[in-house]
Amino acid sequence: MTPTIAILLIITFVVSAVGLLLLIWSIATNQFSHGHLAARTIFAEGEEGHGEDPAGDTVLEDTDNTIANDELQAREVADRSSRQAALAWLGSAVLWLLVGSAYGLLTSGKFHWPELLADSEWLTFGRVRPMHLNAVAYGWASMAGVGVAIFLIPRLFKTALVGGRYALWGAVLWNLGMVLGLVAINLGLSDGEEWLEFPWQVDTLFVIGGGLCAIPLLLTAANRRVSHLYVTSWYLLAALVWFPILFLLANLPVVFPGASGATVNWWFAHNVLGLWVTPIGVGIAYYMIPKILGRPIISYQLSLIGFWSLALFYSQVGIHHLVGGPVPTWLVTLSIVHSVMMSVPVITVAINHHGTMWGHFGRLKDSPTLRFVWIGALMYTLSSLQGSMEALRSVNVVTHFTHYTVGHAHLGMYAFLSLILFGAIYFIMPRLMNWEWPWRPLISLHFWLVTSGILIYVVSLSVGGWLQGLAMLDAETAFMDIVRLTLPYLEARTLGGALMTLGHVIFAVHFVAMLRRSGKERHRPTLFRSAQRARDTLEGSR
Amino acid sequence: MKHALAIMVGAALILLLATLTLVAMPYVQMSSEAVPEALEPYTTAQQRGRDLYIANGCIYCHSQQPRDPGFSSADSERGWGRPSVPGDYAYDQPHLLGTMRTGPDLLNIGARQSSVDWHLLHLYNPRAVVEDSIMPAYRFLFRVVDEPREDQHVVKIPEPYGPDSGVVVATREALELTSYLLSLDRTYPADTLPRAEAAEEEGEG
């Protein structure tokens, strides 16, 4: 048995190494000679240097009439074509964000007020906690991600969305799955594995709903009018392939019992982050940052290395969640090695995202989308490097089984992904509604509430979790003393969570106002600073 | 379209490779592990108790996997038991290994604490037995009656944790959950995993 596994292991390492070498070779021999052109496919002819800001009317900004008009019209057609489908997914996402936040806050409170609403089995800790996770992971993050993808794909392919109806039906099924799944957890019918709590019968709705979304994306891809596929579409297309496979495999009932069930569980739970929400978040940032700045990403070749190395390395992680547990050591080691290798795609993405920003940080002052998206991208770099560290045995022995991991999960799912999704929604909605965001102060308020909230959240859990982990390694410390030690940090987490929840309420109110086209009709983008000052910056940066 | 397809097929192939190494191979290796002779399958009551453990999300605060002393010696020093092996979970569907220790590890709770009444009281109100515990109370698994019937299991609740009037009796669910907790006893000897010292060192390098 052992030699077979050793051979297979060696094969996977060789395959990974060969893949990397192939990439290096192809770059050295200039196989990606279209890099420059490809990086510019997101701009219309002559548009480079003109930032497209949240819903600003680009034609108005184009005072010297240099941008190819037909391309801008094609973009407008693309934007209008995805309106219904994108709104259905985004609107549902905002609703689930509110539901998920409420359950999250309640869960957090129960840690330090154990008698809070404790008499009802519907509100017991062990049920509201998975309801929080599933509502934000599959309701908010996934639905918003799909909504943004539906908006971006026609734009990236410079054509109208074909078959938007399928995506609408997909949203209906997905929402139905969310409702049934959450009710099932609340009734105590959970499947019992983290990230896979929804009963497998309900999961079929997600597979069908997600599949229905793939149809318009493939039809639109077939109709595309661009010769280069921009890197964002690589990430989005791959994510849409990976998620259904992962979700289907991991939810197969009865197949994987006992300890092997645990490996499948954690392989899935980490890959749903790595191969589903990460490509979506990274892909969106790859579009938004250059688009708002009006300058192409600095290295297109690097972005492709980043993509394939993400695919190679991220798909092999997850079992490091079972370091020291009842699974074969080789398996854990494989995941640790690949977790550390993840720094390759992370660093390439960081060079591109932050390198493109370099010298243009002034734009963070006025553009809401850029501010949300870039901070999200920065947090991606941070949380990924932190994740690679956490997979190391010497760090994992402290952080495993503690609140530190929860802080890390929120750094990834929230500070990285959710901030990027917020930024993207601020960009997309004016395009879909043909209306500017009504109230500038609400965007500011939303930004400051959620960023200060997540800062308090992550810092308190990281410090508290680390201390908790150290104390647990010392068998002389009584267990209850460890519990008491964590309490102040858990209270701080509730404060952070309350700020985030308040930010979400404000965001949702603004979102609804946008749907109703409230406020005055405007022709300038709603930026953080007044229109005049923003215009001055824009002109200054040209 | 060709290009788009190539990306999607490439992405799917890489994932299939990962599935082979991280899903198929561990499955083959672990399913061939022997089931320890001393391990009994769950009785119907224990299995129903296990379903309640899942329904009420005990897993979100309690792990069921004492770690290898070579990795972290504190687990065995705390009395949580020897490192678990795949065979210990042969009857577990789904697995309940857990990833969080807001509360202690429970794989051997039945051996550490074998009193039914302790467990019932602890479930009714954890703070009645463990000062400052932050575990939720599961009072919804109990009933307050004026006169308990002969066949009802009365739980004696110390002041001031009980109801103002009447006596607390355990529901069938509370008793089943307790019988599951008592079944958590993997203290029988077991061969550890084939983790040679050499492999361990290599992993840490």
B26 in A contact zone (CB under 8 Å)? yes
Using an 8 Å Cβ cutoff, are A284 and A148 in contact? yes
Using an 8 Å Cβ cutoff, are A213 and A150 in contact? yes
pLDDT of residue B201: 43
> How many whole angstroms separate alpha carbon B179 and alpha carbon B46?
5
Residue A2 to residue B194, Cβ atoms within 8 A: yes
Q: Shortest CB distance from B99 goes to which of A124, A130, A194?
A: A194
Burial class (CB in 10 A: 0-12, 13-18, 19+), A288: buried
Q: Which position has the token pair 């074909």?
A: A162
Burial class (CB in 10 A: 0-12, 13-18, 19+), A210: buried
pLDDT tens figures, A158-167: 999 999 999 9
B77 in A contact zone (CB under 8 Å)? yes
User: CA angle at residue A527 from A70 to A521, to 5 degrees?
Assistant: 70
Q: Which residue of A124, A159, A487 is the best one to mutate when testing the B interface, meaning the one whose CB has the most B CBs within 10 A?
A: A124
φ/ψ of residue B155, rounded to 5: -110, 120
Region of poorest pLDDT, from A71-75, B97-101, B179-183: A71-75
pLDDT of residue A58: 40
Does the structure show a pLDDT above 80 at A67? Answer: no
Using an 8 Å Cβ cutoff, are B191 and B184 in contact? no
pLDDT tens figures, A269-318: 999 999 999 999 999 999 999 999 998 998 887 888 889 889 988 988 98
Residue spans per domain, chain A: 66-227, 292-542
**How far does the CA of residue A457 sit from the closest CA of chain B (Å)?**
17
Answer whether CATH 1.10.760.10 is correct for domain B40-187: yes
DSSP letters, A238-265, are HHHHHHHHHHHHHH-SSSS-HHHHHHHH
pLDDT tens figures, A317-327: 988 889 888 98
Residue spans per domain, chain B: 1-30, 40-187
Look at residue A401 and give its three-state secondary structure.
Answer: strand
Using an 8 Å Cβ cutoff, are A249 and A268 in contact? yes
C-alpha R_g of chain B: 22
Using an 8 Å Cβ cutoff, are B12 and B143 in contact? no
DSSP assignment letter at B58: G
Nearest CA in chain B to A235: B7
Does the structure show a pLDDT above 90 at A460? Answer: yes
Bond before B160 cis per omega within 30 degrees:
yes
Cα dist. A504→A98, A140, A480 in Å?
A: 7, 11, 35
Distance of CA B131 to the CA centre of its chain: 23
**How far does the CA of residue B110 sit from the closest CA of chain A (Å)?**
18
Write out chain A residues lying below 8 Å of B194, CB-based: 2, 328
> How many whole angstroms separate alpha carbon A95 and alpha carbon A280?
20
What CATH number should be reported for the domain whose range is A292-542? Answer: 1.20.210.10
Q: Shortest CB distance from B56 goes to which of A127, A245, A319?
A: A127
B39 in A contact zone (CB under 8 Å)? no
Percentage, residues of chain A above pLDDT 90: 62
B99 in A contact zone (CB under 8 Å)? yes
**DSSP bridge partners of B154:** B169
Write out chain B residues lying below 8 Å of A234, CB-based: 7
| Span A446-475, average pLDDT | 97
Chain B, 105 to 134: residues with Cβ < 8 Å from chain A are: 126-127, 130-134
Q: How many A×B Cβ pairs under 8 Å?
A: 265
Q: Which residue has the higher pLDDT, A542 or A464?
A: A464
pLDDT of residue B194: 47
Does the structure show a pLDDT above 90 at A47? Answer: no
Residue B31 to residue A126, Cβ atoms within 8 A: no
- At position A523, the amino acid (one-letter code) is H
| Span B93-106, average pLDDT | 95
pLDDT of residue B1: 54
pLDDT of residue A107: 97
Nearest CA in chain A to B127: A114
**DSSP bridge partners of B142:** B170
> How many whole angstroms separate alpha carbon A359 and alpha carbon B194?
55
What is the torsion angle, in degrees rounded to the nearest 10, for the CA atoms of residue B63, residue A131, residue A376 and residue A305?
70
- At position A498, the amino acid (one-letter code) is A
* CB neighbour list of residue A272: distance below 8 Å, 6 or more residues apart: A137, A195, A243, A246, A247
Answering whether pTM is above 0.90, one says yes
| Span B175-186, average pLDDT | 97
| Span A490-509, average pLDDT | 98
Nearest CA in chain B to A131: B57
Burial A30-50 (b: 16+ CB within 10 A, else e): eebeebeebbbbbbbebbeeb
Mean pLDDT of chain A: 89
Write out chain B residues lying below 8 Å of A322, CB-based: 65, 97
| Span A422-443, average pLDDT | 93
* CB neighbour list of residue A477: distance below 8 Å, 6 or more residues apart: A471
Q: Which residue has the higher pLDDT, B163 or A41?
A: B163
Burial class (CB in 10 A: 0-12, 13-18, 19+), A490: buried
Closest CA to B193 of B84, B116, B106: B84
Q: Which position has the token pair 């069930």?
A: A261
Look at residue A41 and give its three-state secondary structure.
Answer: coil
Closest CA to A199 of B55, B89, B165, B35: B55
pLDDT of residue A530: 54
Q: Could you tell me the two tokens for B110?
A: 């039945």
The 3-state DSSP composition of chain A as helix, strand, coil percent (nearest 5) reads 75, 0, 25
| pLDDT tier, A64 (very low <50, low <70, confident <90, very high otherwise) | low
Using an 8 Å Cβ cutoff, are A151 and A68 in contact? no
Burial A387-417 (b: 16+ CB within 10 A, else e): bbbbbbbebbbbbbbbbbbbbbbbbbbbbbb
**How far does the CA of residue B150 sit from the closest CA of chain A (Å)?**
26
Q: Could you tell me the two tokens for A45?
A: 């002819």
